[in-house]
Amino acid sequence: MPPAAPSSSGKAMAAAAVVLAMLLSAAAAQHDYGDALHKCILFFEGQRSGRLPPDQRVRWRRDSGLHDGAAAGVDLTGGYYDAGDNVKFGFPMAFTATLMSWGLIDFGRSFGPHKEEARKAVRWATDYLMKATARPNTVYVQVGDAFRDHACWERPEDMDTPRTVYRVDPSHPGSDVAAETAAALAAASIVFRDSDPAYSKRLLDRAVAVFEFADKHRGPYSSSLHAAVCPCYCDYSGYQDELLWGAAWLHKASRRREYREYIKRNEVVLGASEAINEFGWDNKHAGINVLISKEVLMGKDEYFQSFRVNADNFICTLLPGISNHPQIQYSPGGLLFKVGSSNMQHVTQLSFLLLAYSNYLSHAGGRVSCGSSSASPAQLRRVAKRQVDYILGDNPLRMSYMVGYGARFPRRIHHRASSIPSVAAHPARIGCKAGAAYYASPAPNPNLLVGAVVGGPTDASDAFPDARAVFQQSEPTTYINAPLMGLLAYFSAHPNPAESGGD
């Protein structure tokens, strides 16, 4: 809850108690988490760029971006469009791959029949990232001119805006995007270790090389490529967190002592304890502390005890009734929100960390220490589950924020391909400005982007307009869905968080 004014402290305490009761209530309606997981993964097929495979299930999409990279003499076909536009941004794509992989690593057994399709979703990203890092000391980090692209409303199959290629290299460093790419490749190497060991080895070898480049040639890509990547995916938190994040994943994937030493040597220098209330494509600090804390909780490495302390402090900021952190608030309907746009990214990413940490605590028989109080793993799971249930329809509007799940869901999402008639329905090309009519139309989108989770309510009102123009609330992104995969997998196997333990 937000801090209360002195004259209304009693009301604030009462409100906090109500929210806490809602978050910890086990009486919410049971959802079909397995069906939601299937749809959550299916969304990524709607975001695919490149030549679509024969088993493509989102049939209203067609091949697109088939010449990406050609002007630069490199093959950059494939990968994902990050949101409702047609640009391929490497920074959020790599983060998306890292989070999808983390979900599979921690909760793989819970994916059940959906595990293979989840791995395919990861591989669509990592195949592209391998192409983007094929040249030594170079990472191709973006395809498409964001400003020209955003001036159009057209299908990816029709796009005629410049497919400009942007890269970082020793002369134009980008430690943030390069280290995040290394993290993605390292995490994915764990995912494919058993099912495809040769691919896993290639991923890890590349991750090692890309991280070495990121660390040796330090600097933010927002400086090297400012005109291209800002303000869309400008790295406001600096590159230091990505270097620690990349090293943490390389340590987890390789078990090499050099990464353990790197983390400890750079813990203070790279600010491991800074801004721990943040976690997302820009700021990895909270994720670093939770990820590394597993080593401590499993009794493998007391060397990292300070990360466990940081993780506890972070988790405490998310628990209503225990900590009234000014940057972490809850709506009257129980939704976690942070001031800004696309709030569901915070909901899914922070909920994933709650669940992951509860899993580590359960295995270790531990609790979260929050000053004079503490919280059990089950409490953390209940808070995370409450957020998932809110997304799926347990909210004041009684609507799901996942397209295609439940009886009521967003119909006018801010997404070019979804809002314009498909190639099958309208074979003739629809040009840059011709699509504006579909953008302005009050009609529902003709193509259901099943599984897409939109930005949702962005303040304490629990309100949602379901309008394309309000992109902060109606646009889906890959990094909203990525951590949701792990959450849905876990709750599909453990629907009662009070009784469940670790995966």
User: Among all residues, which ones are annotated catalytic?
Assistant: 414, 466, 475
Question: What's the CA gap between 90 and 167, in Å, rounded?
Answer: 10
Q: What is the DSSP string of 85-103?
A: SS-EEHHHHHHHHHHHHHH
Over the range 279-299, which residues count as b (16 or more CB within 10 Å of their CB) and which as e?
bbbbbbbbbbbbbbbbbbbee
Question: What's the CA gap between 338 and 329, in Å, rounded?
Answer: 6
Question: What's the CA gap between 212 and 214, in Å, rounded?
Answer: 5
**Residue position matching structure tokens 């009693």:** 10
Question: What's the CA gap between 337 and 327, in Å, rounded?
Answer: 8
499 contacts: CB under 8 Å, gap ≥ 6: none
Distance (Å) of CA 363 to CA 24, 153, 298, 419, 484: 21, 49, 7, 46, 22
**Which residues on adjacent β-strands are paired with residue 434?**
none
Question: What's the CA gap between 98 and 396, in Å, rounded?
Answer: 33
Nearest CA to 454 out of 443, 444, 465, 446 is that of 465
Chain centre to alpha carbon of residue 274: 20
Question: What's the CA gap between 437 and 193, in Å, rounded?
Answer: 48
